[in-house]
Structure 1
Amino acid sequence: MTLNETLHQQLALHSLSLERFREIVGRLFAAGIVLREEDGVEQRLYDDARRIETCLGDYFQLGGFRLEHNLKGEFFRLYAPGAEVPGLPEDGLEAVPGLRARLSPDFVAAALALRFQYQQGLSEGGNRLTDSGEVLTRFEELSATLQTQLKRALPPTSIERQRLLNDLKRHRLIRLAPNFSMDDEDALLAIRPTILGIISDDMLEAALESEPLPAGAGSEAEPVSLQVEAEAEDEFTAQGIEGNVE
C-alpha cells in the first residue's frame, strides 16, 4: 500500500477529505500554529486536526518536522527540523537554511519583552492572570519593559507600532480586544501562554544579559516555529515562522 493510499484510508476513518487535510497542513506550514480560541475558522481547523493528530504527526515527522499538541492551551505548533524547542530534547537534525525567513528586530525584541512580562504575571498572579493562562498588560508597560530590560524603544511612528502589534497578534503571541487602542492608557492586551513555546528561560536570560539589538539589524527565522533566542555575539537570532495567515 502506498503512502497516498494509507493517507486516504486514515482520512476516511475520520470522515475528513484530502482537501481538508491539505488546508490544515497548509495553515501549519504558513503560520506554524493552529490555536482553537483564535476564531471560528481556526477552532474548526483545530478540532479537525485533533481527529487526525496521529496522521498529521506521522506526515510531518517524515520530513523531520515536529508537531506538538498543547492540550491545556488547545493549540498545535509546528517546529522545523533542527529547531530548539523549549522544554523538549533536540531532534538531532540539521537546521534547513532554505526554511529561514526574516523577522524584524522590533518583532524579536517585543517577543522577548512579552516573555519577560508573562513570567512576571505568572509570579504575581492576581487580576493580571486570567483563567485561560493569559497575562494582561498595557501597551505602555510593554514599552517600559523594552526600554528597561532590553534598552530598546518601540518603533517611532504609530503606523509602525500598529504593524508590530498586528504581527504579534498574527503569530498568536497576543490577543487584542476589538476596540483596543494604543492611545487608551487603560486598554489591555493579553499575552498568550503560547509565548512559552518559543522563548525558554535560558533564551530570555541570555537576551537580558546581552547588548541591545542594533537598530536596523536583521533577524533570521525558520518559518515553522518562531522560536526566539539571543546568541552570545550581541545579536538576536529568531528561529521560527514567518507566516502570512491573518
Structure 2
Amino acid sequence: MTLIEALHEQLALHNLALERFREIVSRLFSAGIVMREEDGVEQRLYDDARRIEACLHDYFQLAGFRLEHNLKGEFFRLYAPGAEVPGMPEDGLEPVPGLRARLSPDFVAAALALRFQYQQGLSEGGNRLTDSGEVLTRFEELSATLQTQLKRALPPTNIERQRLLNDLKRHRLIRLAANFSMDDEDALLAIRPTILGIISDDMLEAALETDPLPAAESADEDVASPQALLEEESIEGNIE
C-alpha cells in the first residue's frame, strides 16, 4: 500500500476528504497555528484537525516537523525541524535555513514585551487574568514595558503601530475587540497563552539582559511559517 492510499484509508475512517486534509495542512504551513477560538472558519479547521490528529502528526513527522496540540488552549502549532520549542526536548535535527521567516525588530520586541506582561499577569491574577488564560493589558502598558524593559519605543506613526498590532493578532499572540482603538486609553487587548509557545523564560531573560541594537536590524524566526518560534540566538543577536 502506498502512502497516499494509506492516507485515503485513514481519512475515510473519519469521513474527511483529501481536500480538507490539504486545507488543514496548508493553513498550518502558512500560519503555523490553527486556533479554535479565532473564528468560525478556523474553529471548523481545528475540529477537523482533531479528528485526524494522528494522521497529521505522522504526516509532519515524516518531514521532520513537530505538531503540538494544546488541549487547554485548543490550538495546534507547527514547528520546523531543529526549532527550539519552549518546554519540549530538542528533536536532534538540523535547522532548515529556507524555513526561517524574517521578523521585524518591532515585532520581536513587542512579542517579548507581551511575554513579560503575560508573566506579570499570571503572578498578579485578579481581573487581569481571564477564565481562558488570557492576560488583559492596555496599549499604553505595552508601550511602557517596551521602554522600561527593552529600551525600545513603539513605531513612530499610528499606521506602523496598527500594522504591528495586526501582525501580532495574525500570529495569534493577542486578541483585539472589534471596537479597539489605540486612542482609547481604557481599551484593552488580550495577551493569549500562545505567547508561551513562542518565548520561553530563558529567551525572555536573555533578551532583557541584551543591549539595544539599531532599529534597522531584523530577526530570524526559525519556524515552519511566520508563526512559530523565536530562537534565543536570534533574540540575542537582533533584539534591540
Q: TM-score, normalised by structure 2?
A: 0.96
Aligned mates of 1:32, 1:74 — CA distance in 2: 14
Q: Equivalent residues in 2 for 1:86-97 (5 A)? A: 86-97=86-97
Cross-structure match for 2:213: 213
- Cα offset, 1:171, TM superposition: 0.2
- Cα offset, 1:8, TM superposition: 0.2
Cross-structure match for 1:243: none
Asked if 1:148 is matched to 2:148, the reply is yes
Q: Equivalent residues in 2 for 1:40-189 (5 A)? A: 40-189=40-189
Aligned mates of 2:221, 2:57 — CA distance in 1: 22
Aligned mates of 2:36, 2:73 — CA distance in 1: 8
Query: Which SS does the other structure have where 2:141 is aligned?
Result: helix
Cross-structure match for 1:199: 199
Cα pair distance change 1:234/1:74, threshold 3 Å: closer
Cα pair distance change 1:209/1:187, threshold 3 Å: same
Aligned mates of 1:35, 1:232 — CA distance in 2: 26
- Cα offset, 1:166, TM superposition: 0.1
Counting matched residue pairs gives: 237
Which runs of 5 or more structure 2 residues have no equivalent in the other structure?
A: none
Query: Which SS does the other structure have where 2:230 is aligned?
Result: strand
What is the alpha-carbon root mean square deviation over aligned residues?
1.3
CA displacement 1:119-167 (0-9 Å, x = unmatched): 0000000000000000000000000000000000000000000000000
Cα pair distance change 1:227/1:233, threshold 3 Å: closer
Aligned mates of 1:173, 1:192 — CA distance in 2: 5
- Cα offset, 1:223, TM superposition: 3.8
- Cα offset, 1:215, TM superposition: 1.0
Q: Sequence identity, in percent? A: 84
CA displacement 1:5-36 (0-9 Å, x = unmatched): 00000000000000000000000000000000
- Cα offset, 1:85, TM superposition: 0.2
Aligned mates of 2:24, 2:32 — CA distance in 1: 11
- Cα offset, 1:218, TM superposition: 1.3
Aligned mates of 1:112, 1:235 — CA distance in 2: 14
* Paired residues of 2:35 and 2:46 also in contact (CA < 8 A): yes
- Cα offset, 1:226, TM superposition: 2.6
The 10-residue stretch of structure 1 (77-86 or 218-227) with the greater mean CA deviation from structure 2: 218-227
Cα pair distance change 1:232/1:95, threshold 3 Å: closer
Query: Which SS does the other structure have where 2:54 is aligned?
Result: helix
* Paired residues of 2:128 and 2:137 also in contact (CA < 8 A): yes
Cross-structure match for 2:230: 228
Query: Which SS does the other structure have where 1:151 is aligned?
Result: coil
Aligned mates of 1:86, 1:235 — CA distance in 2: 19
Aligned mates of 1:136, 1:124 — CA distance in 2: 11
Aligned mates of 1:203, 1:73 — CA distance in 2: 22
- Cα offset, 1:230, TM superposition: 4.1
- Cα offset, 1:234, TM superposition: 4.6
Query: Which SS does the other structure have where 2:175 is aligned?
Result: strand
* Paired residues of 2:206 and 2:236 also in contact (CA < 8 A): no
Which runs of 5 or more structure 1 residues have no equivalent in the other structure?
A: 238-246
- Cα offset, 1:200, TM superposition: 0.3
Structure 2 counterpart of 1:56, which letter?
L
Aligned mates of 2:154, 2:213 — CA distance in 1: 12
Aligned mates of 1:235, 1:106 — CA distance in 2: 14
Aligned mates of 2:235, 2:44 — CA distance in 1: 43
CA displacement 1:105-126 (0-9 Å, x = unmatched): 0000000000000000000000
